[in-house]
Each structure stands twice: as structure tokens, then as C-alpha cells.
Amino acid sequence: MNPLEKADQGSQRFRYIKLCIFFSGLSVFAQLYLFQPMLPMAAEHFNVSVGDTSLLVSSSTIGMALGLLFFAFKADSYSRKGLMTFSLVSSALLTIISTWIPSLSLLIAIGIFKGFVVSGVSAVALAYLTEEVSAAVIGTAISMYLSGNTIGGMSGRILATILAGEFGWRNAVLVIGIESLILGAIFWKLFPESKFFNPQKTDYHLKVKQMKFFLINPYMLRLYLIAALVMGVFVSVYNYLTFRLEAQPFSLSHFIIAFIFLMYIFGVFGTMTVGRLSKRIPANTILKGSILSMLVGALLLLSENLYILIFGLGLFTFSFFAAHTMASQMAALYAKRGKSSATSIYWLFYYFGSSILGSGTGYLLHSYSWNVFIAFLVISVVAALLLATANTSPKDKKN
């Protein structure tokens, strides 16, 4: 293979990129939402409200958002591989340290710091893929990264719930921390260095100009707002569904509820389906269809029939990951220059949506009812659908 050619289907370099980018997503999301299935357990242990315990999840996503704001300026100053390796290893060590933290407020503070350091992966992963991978297989590579996110989120939640139930939450945190450290070591060993990017001194004036362009560009701004809304809705459902299923009329055990997170498998299918469809169907058509399907899934979560609710959750999960995959791919490909800035802003909105809606809806649920909670989420999804409908084609001049 010509050293100046981008990684393509069948090459060893492409295989290593796919494997390691998958592992990076696996590690990040296993750690990021580690406490999500244990929120009822945490509420009881620390004797605090539903909204307060949700800060264990939101702290990491707030840290992610702050880190992405930082890396929007600084990411291009570091080696892509070096930054991602540092993020994976240091976040794993912070997760392991969390095992011995007795205070809720200190756990929340560590969560913010962990989110900040792990944001280095999200800040440059999509930029790395668009720089190093052939255009013919870029959709496959991005889908592999997002599949790692999905499976990491699912396996982390299920493993944390089962281990916490059997051995206590501290041991659950320790196991996931060690697993993440091993994944970080594999990434450091196998992930190919960049061929088409060299670290450069940050030109702050240029960065501000690029970020301003993306933030005032109607096409990109709508994608960013869509990311914030759909992610906020998605995290809200998975944050608080455990409380719903523990209560009447379902009254499910904590162990059984853990396997609800197997619904994330549908997220993998959503990501993979979009990777294939994007070669044949216009991107925004897929995005609108995915959000509309997500809306239907959210409405089915109003049902008191467990089978209908589980079907709705599967459809909702499939549709969210399809929408997120498509929106992130559209944002990464639209930016001809300043890719790391464009993708960092995408993740910034994504995690602010997760943090703000993810915690805010907890207080809404605590004060009102499940039906009011779902009604608010449905309104948010409708807003995302209207934004996608307005984004028919990127008519704005590209940067």
C-alpha cells in the first residue's frame, strides 16, 4: 500500500483503526455512564433525591462538555494518538480511584474531572477518521466507533448493575476501571499514528474564527441543536426508567431491570443500518426518518403494558443511535477545514444536552408524573424533527 494513501477496506491499517476506535468508544462509554443503572441504589445509600443522584451521571457529561470546549482550541496541538491514549488511561485510573471515595460530593467532583480528561477521545476521534480513512469506507469507520460507544454503554450498565447487586457498587466500579485500563493499553499498542495530521501550534484567532463560522452557520447549528435535544431525551429515559420499572404496575426486581440495558443492542443495529443506508439515501432523509421513529418509540413508553414499553424502548434506542450517527457524520463531513473544531462543538452540544436535560427531567419526574415527564421529552423530539426538516440541504457556503 502506498504510504500516502488513506486506510482502505482490507488493509491491516484499516483493521487496526476499526478495532482500536471500537475499543476507545467501549472504554469511554462504559465509564461515562457507569452510575446510571445504580441511581436508585445511590439515592438510598446517600439518602438524597432522584435529581441529586442523577448528578453522578451528569457530572461526567458536564466534565465532557467543559473538556470539549478546551479541546476545541487545543486538540490540534497534540498528537491524535497521544491525546486519545492519555485520555483512555487517565480516565481509567480515575474510575479505579473512585472505588475508595465515600462522599457523594467528592464522587461528583471526580466525575467532572474524569469527563474532562476522557473528552480528549471524543474531541479528535471523528477528525482522525475523516483524515486517515478512505472516503469509501468512512461511514463504516464512524459506525464502528459509535458501535463501540453503544456496546460500551450497554455492557458497562449491565455489568455495573449485576456486580453492584452481588458484590457492592465499589467492586463494580473497580472492575470497570480495570477493564478500561486494559483497553487503553491495547489502544496504545495497536492504534496507528496519524499520517495526514501533524500537531501544530494553536492559532487562537483562527480557532475562534472557525468556531464562530460553525456556530452561526445555520446548517451546522441545527445539527448541534439536534444533537443536544436527542441526547438529552435519550439520557433522560435511561436515567429514570429504572425508577419507573421498580414502581407499580411493573414492580420488577433490580436484577431483571439490569437486562433492560440489553436494548442497547438495538442501538448497535441503528448505527450499522445508518452506515449502510448512507451510501444510497440522502443523509438528511435518514436523519428525519430516525427522529420521527424516535418520537414513536418515546410515545410507546407511556404504556403500562410491559411488552409494549419494551418494544417502544427498543425502537427508541435504535432510532436515537441512528439519528446520532447520521448527525455526527453530517457534521464531520461538512467541515472541510477545522474538523476538530466542528466535531468538538458537536460533542459539546451533545453533552450539554445530556447534562441539562438529563438532570432537569429528574426534578420534573420527582415533582410530577411519568406521563408529564414523557410529554416533555416528546416535545423535545418534535423540536429536533422540525430542525432536521429545516436542514434539507447544506446550501450555506462551506468553510
| Neighbouring C-alpha atoms within 13 Å toward the C-beta of 18 | 17
DSSP letters, 59-75, are HHHHHHHHHHHHHHHHG
DSSP 198: -
The per-residue pLDDT for 37 is: 78
Cα four-point dihedral sign 124, 126, 129, 130: negative
DSSP 19: H
Contact between 17 and 133 under an 8 Å Cβ cutoff? The reply is: yes
Residue 139 CA: distances (Å) to CA of 123, 131, 132, 224, 332: 18, 13, 13, 19, 11
What are the structural domains, with CATH classification, of the chain?
12-390 (1.20.1250.20)
Long-range contact set of residues 42-46: C-beta below 8 Å, sequence gap at least 24? 42/104, 42/169, 45/169, 46/104
Three-class secondary structure of residue 22 per DSSP: helix
Residues 6+ apart with CB under 8 A from 148: 21, 22, 23, 24, 25, 26, 29
The per-residue pLDDT for 1 is: 46
Three-class secondary structure of residue 133 per DSSP: strand
Q: Could you list the mean pLDDT of each consecutive 10-residue stretch along the chain, which spans 399 residues?
A: 69 90 89 82 77 83 88 84 96 93 90 93 86 85 81 82 81 92 96 87 80 91 96 92 87 80 84 83 93 97 94 95 91 80 84 88 87 96 96 56
The per-residue pLDDT for 243 is: 83
The per-residue pLDDT for 252 is: 86
Q: Provide the β-strand partners of residue 7.
A: 133
Task: Tell me the residue type at 344.
Answer: S
Query: Could you tell me where the DSSP H helices lie in the chain?
Result: 12-32, 39-46, 50-53, 55-74, 80-98, 104-132, 138-167, 169-190, 204-216, 218-246, 254-258, 264-277, 283-300, 306-334, 339-367, 370-390
The per-residue pLDDT for 384 is: 97
The per-residue pLDDT for 4 is: 64
